[in-house]
Amino acid sequence: MKISQLLSQREGLLQQARLANLAYAYAKLEEFDGRIARARLTGEVNLLQADPAAGGFWPMLTAREGNQSVIEEHFTEEDVTELADIIAFFTGATELDLTFRIEDLAERFAAPLRRELERAGVAVSTPPSVAESPDGPGTRGCPQRGEGI
């Protein structure tokens, strides 16, 4: 391939990369939503971006209602980092400090991504990782009762 060919395709490649990133973000949010639904998590949470200058090296997902330990059972530090990165990417925010009901995650964040993908002509279906069995990944420590966080 010649450099001129690559440069002539640049705009299309950038658009495809953005769509691929939106699709990945959508699929991950749907996966998180499935985990939340299977665990029957409810309640208000706060998502705070990492702030190394203030000694916060990881983003924090904090239960504002209920028990923090329930959040920690279902979301690793890596999960919270990925969630914060996805929301920052989608919203364009450089600093996140969001409070929302955890059961509204998909409605608040995945639904706008789905609409954007559909506007771009992407056929959106339920990602395979969302359709996993209740015994699959992301279900460790799920409560048996419909308890909130």
Contact between 121 and 19 under an 8 Å Cβ cutoff? The reply is no
Helices 77-91 and 10-39: angle between axes, nearest 10 degrees: 130
Condensed to tens digits (0 to 9), the pLDDT of residues 49-88 reads 887 777 778 899 999 998 999 999 999 999 999 999 999 9
pTM of the model: 0.79
Contacts of 140 (CB under 8 A, 6+ apart): 73, 74
Instruction: Return the residue matching tokens 């706008």.
Output: 112
CA R_g for the chain: 17
